[in-house]
A and B are shown apart, each in its own frame.
Chain A
Amino acid sequence: MEVKRSSKTKTAVSAIIPFVLLAVMIGYVFGPGSELISFGVVIPEISIEKVEFVDSEIIATVRNTGPIAVDIVMADIDDMILPAAIEPDKHLERFESAIVRIPFEWNEGQPYAIGLTIDDGTRFEKQVDVAAPSIQPTIEMISYFAVIGTYVGIIPVMIGLLWFPFISKLSRSKYKFFLALTVGLLLFLGISSAEEAIETSAENLSDVFNGVLLVATVAIVSFLALNYLGEKLKKRAGASKLAGPVAIALMIAIGIGLHNFGEGLAIGAAIVLGEAALGAFLIVGFALHNTTEGFAIAAPMARTKLMIGRLAALGMIAGVPAIFGTWVGGFVYSPLTAVIFLAIGTGAIFQVIVLIMRWIQNEEGKLSNSSVLAGIAVGMLIMYITSILV
């Protein structure tokens, strides 16, 4: 007993020693009195992450994304220096953010450049293409977004589920084709989610967040976590032959749900930004697009008995997040949140792809089957063609 404990302590100590040495070295190199690294110029940086237009006021959310603390000292609209206020205060530590309120009689539909100047005189700017009143989370707006989310998320998925009887009547090879088609659909969705995440991070997120690496890290963590969850789910479902397909369908629904959350974000943000035309296109495009998602959920279940309740529940899991997405995108949009959710969705979708591929392999033995390959290709083509509408 005694021996065991001391060996445990030894293990712990041996794990900690490198950390201690590292800390000592860092302290020596960077610590007070150190002259070793005193060259170079530190360049402060801030990012204007969000601009809202409210009654007689423009509100900018700013974050210190540089290596040192800064003071925000001046605000301007289109180079016109204006009286403004910053809350909670003008001093921003690293990563700290604040809200700058600039009273201004802005005109709807007009572009504006919002500028903030820091204590060393450097001015940072955010260009807003179209000024539109920021949407307040009133009951009407919440329900309006819920309706849009329903049209985009729930209804198309449910319509897609109606392919269930069709798929269940298919021959074995044709069924395989449609299962592979699902893989194609998801592959496309996964890539588009990743693209969207990287694009959002490039446009709205400061370099300090390492956009692409953030997306990759979150996506892979999400992939691994869902993989683990999926395995657990399968184990709990036990050897029951029925449970396997349902578990896969559930995983697909979760993955698609996360993806639809991202779509909701895009729609909500577009409406808030006053891009009504874009919003309308997104709604039509995503609705068409999402019908195929219902298909993806229905496909793995097609060999089991029709369980309308379960199918509907899965449809809800996949569709309802679109509503949450429109709320988040519309009311509390933050690029960082958006990127993280989109990356989670990416990981989830790729996890689902692996799941289905493994399932096809288990059922059919091999993947390089012509109907499987054709299914994937056709799936991607369908998605590409419907995506042009967005």
Chain B
Amino acid sequence: MFIVIATVSLGFVGYLVFPTMDITAQEQPEVFVTHSGAVVQTTGDVLDPVYTIQEVEFDPQKYLRDFDYGKVSKLEDGTTLREFTIIAEDDKIMEIAPGIFYNVWTFNGSVPGPTIRATEGDLVRIYFINNGDKEHTIHFHGNHPAEMDGIFEIVGSGGGQFTYEFIAGPVGVHPYHCHVMPVEEHIGHGLYGVFIVDPKEGRQQADEMVMVLNGFDTDFDGENNLYAANTIPFYYQHHPIQINMNELIRVYVVNMVGLDPINNFHLHGTLYHYYPTGTDLVPSYFTDMVTFSQSERGILEFEYEYTGKYMFHAHLTEFSDKGWTGLFYVKDSSQLNTEVYNFGS
């Protein structure tokens, strides 16, 4: 009896002291690329959210150019009515970076929620259903009556409903988010999205996209662990956004990063015209670097003169090191589009 116990405990201690002596079957070595371009081989698993192409459930490529114009109808007086249904949930576990699973609180199942788009003067009607376990609201930035502000009209959990209705305005790009206390927590978990109001006369034809700058404090230490444009860190680094040379690009940027007071947007290889909040149709700056405080937003317009890969990223290196970085892949549309690019070669 004693011998058995002694042997078992000795074996256990031996395992603790020399655990790395485990002999594992030799597998096909995997390969990954470092910042400096070196190729590293491993017999184990690659941990690389930066360069290795990895898919998660949420697709930032699809979100980028996905605009929800709502169910459109005309009222008797000729006003356009746009109806949307937004459902809040707070029990979803989403893969917000390869292998990292986080409890996200969502509008229509994703972080960010849908990009709602209307034209100035349209009547916007939003059927809000709260299927979460907590109370939620939607607070839109923009013009609306006090009772449509989503502050005091708390919508109860487990199927509570509220209908928000207001005339779209002013022109620009605005965030919407849950405004239940503590707001930091409700936003931090993902209850936000973008609301675009187009001018009646429209804007110049362009390749349009939305970028929500966001971050996640996955271990609740008051510091964001991950940053991104559109939720997934480094996503556009290994899935570059394809655009055409000499075509106008318009990016609606909304900074929803919490915990950190500021964020910024730096573009390589060209400069952009910047429209703060998008409320004015004349640009304020021509620059490659703007700073956003919390919930600050604006419109960027630019064109590329040359083909190739260009970075866009936070010029706060801490943010870019933790995922807020990506690439534009500029193609010459006059040439045959082979849809083939070799990243990292």
Q: Interface residues, chain A, CB within 8 Å of chain B?
A: 56, 61, 63, 71-76, 79-90, 95-101, 103, 105, 117, 119-123, 334, 336-337, 340
Distance (Å) between the CB of A253 and the closest chain B CB?
Answer: 25
Pairs of residues from A and B, 5 with the lowest C-beta to C-beta distance, nearest first: A121-B218, A73-B99, A87-B44, A85-B42, A83-B48
Is the pair A85, B30 in contact by a Cβ cutoff of 8 Å? yes
B49 and A74 contact, CB distance less than 8 A: yes
Contacts A79-B321, A85-B40, A334-B17 given; does A121 touch B216 at CB 8 Å: yes
**B32-65 interface mask toward A, CB cutoff 8 Å, 1 = contact, 0 = none?**
1111101010111111111110000000000000
Interface of A is mostly: strand
Give residues of chain B (11-47) contacting chain A, Cβ–Cβ below 8 Å. 13, 15-17, 19-20, 22, 24, 30, 32-36, 38, 40, 42-47
- A81, A88, A117: the one contacting B321 at CB < 8 Å is A81
Contact check: which of A80, A86, A88 meets B47 at CB < 8 Å? A86
Interface size class of B (residues with CB under 8 A): 35 or more
Q: Which residues of B have CB within 8 Å of A85? A: 30, 32, 40, 42, 44-47
The answer, yes or no, to whether B219 is at the interface (CB within 8 Å) is yes
CB nearest to A99 among chain B residues? B20
Question: Can you spell out 15 A-B residue pairs with CB atoms less than 8 angstroms apart?
Answer: A73-B47, A74-B100, A75-B47, A81-B233, A81-B321, A83-B33, A83-B47, A83-B52, A85-B44, A85-B45, A87-B42, A90-B44, A95-B19, A105-B36, A121-B102
Q: Are A81 and B102 in contact (CB under 8 A)?
A: no
Asked whether, in the complex, the Cβ of B45 is within 8 Å of the Cβ of A86, the reply is yes
Name the residue of chain A whose CB is nearest to the CB of B33. Answer: A83
Q: Quick check: B47 and A103 within 8 Å, CB to CB?
A: no
Residues on the B chain within 8 Å of A98, using CB: 44
User: Distance in Å from the Cβ of A13 to the closest Cβ of chain B?
Assistant: 13
Is the beta-carbon distance between A88 and B219 smaller than 8 angstroms?
A: no
- CA–CA, A210 to B6, complex, Å? 20
Complex Cα distance, B49 from A84, in Å, reads 9
**C-alpha spacing A61/B16, complex, angstroms:** 13
Closest to A57 in B: B40
Question: Is there a chain A Cβ closer than 8 Å to B175's Cβ?
Answer: no
For B52, what are the chain A residues with a Cβ–Cβ distance below 8 Å?
83
Whether B321 pairs with A123 at a CB distance below 8 angstroms is no
A85-B45, A99-B44 known, 15 other contacts, Cβ within 8 Å = A73-B99, A73-B100, A74-B47, A80-B321, A81-B50, A83-B33, A84-B48, A86-B47, A87-B42, A87-B43, A88-B43, A90-B44, A121-B96, A121-B102, A121-B218
* Contact B20 A97, beta carbon cutoff 8 Å: yes
The reply on B322 being an interface residue by CB < 8 A is yes
Chain A, residue nearest B31 (CB): A85
B168 within 8 A of A: no
Q: Is B225 an interface residue (CB 8 A)?
A: yes
The residue in chain B whose Cβ has the minimal distance to the Cβ of A15 is: B1
Pick from B218, B233, B323 the residue with the most CB of A within 10 Å: B218
Contacts of B323 in A (CB 8 A): 81
CB distance from B187 to the nearest CB of A (A): 17
Distance in Å from the Cβ of B326 to the closest Cβ of chain A? 14
A122 & B32 in contact (Cβ 8 Å cutoff): no
Instruction: Tell me whether A79 and B50 are in contact in the complex, defined as CB-CB below 8 angstroms, given that A74-B100, A121-B218 are known contacts.
Output: no
B288 to chain A, nearest CB (A): 23
Q: Tell me the smallest distance from the CB of A35 to a CB of chain B, in Å.
A: 21
Complex Cα distance, B318 from A386, in Å, reads 48
Question: Which residue of the partner chain, among B50, B216, B218, B225, contacts A83 with CB atoms under 8 Å?
Answer: B50
Q: Which residues of A contact B102 (CB under 8 A)?
A: 120-121
**A69 CA / B321 CA spacing, docked (Å):** 28
Q: How far is the CA of A105 from the CA of B216 in the complex (A)?
A: 28
B97 at interface (Cβ–Cβ under 8 A)? Answer: yes
Minimal Cβ-Cβ distance residue in B for A61: B20
Contacts of B19 in A (CB 8 A): 63, 95-97
Whether B48 lies near A79 (C-beta < 8 A) is no
Residues of the B chain whose Cβ atoms lie less than 8 Å from the Cβ of A97: 19-20
Q: Answer whether A121 and B47 are a contact pair too, CB < 8 Å, given A61-B20, A74-B100, A336-B17.
A: no
Judged by a CB distance under 8 angstroms, whether B70 is at the interface is no
Q: Is B98 an interface residue, CB under 8 A from the partner?
A: yes
Cβ contacts under 8 Å, A88 to chain B: 22, 24, 43-44
**Which of B20, B22, B32, B216 has the largest count of A CB atoms less than 10 A from its CB?**
B20
Pairwise interchain contact B225-A117, C-beta atoms closer than 8 A = yes
Tell whether, in the assembled complex, residue B32 and residue A117 are in contact, meaning their CB atoms are under 8 Å apart.
no
A337 (CB) vs chain B CBs: closest residue: B17
CB neighbours (8 Å) of B48 from chain A are: 83-84
Inter-chain contact A83/B51, CB cutoff 8 Å: yes
Q: Which residue of A lies closest to B52 (CB)?
A: A83
Are B17 and A117 within 8 A (Cβ)?
Answer: no
Q: Would you call B101 an interface residue if the criterion is a C-beta within 8 Å of the partner chain's C-beta atoms?
A: yes
**Roughly how many angstroms separate A98 CA and B47 CA in the complex, as a whole number?**
13
Determine whether the beta carbon of A117 is less than 8 Å from that of B45.
Answer: no
Tell me the bound Cα distance from A119 to B99 in angstroms: 6
A303: min CB distance to chain B, Å: 39
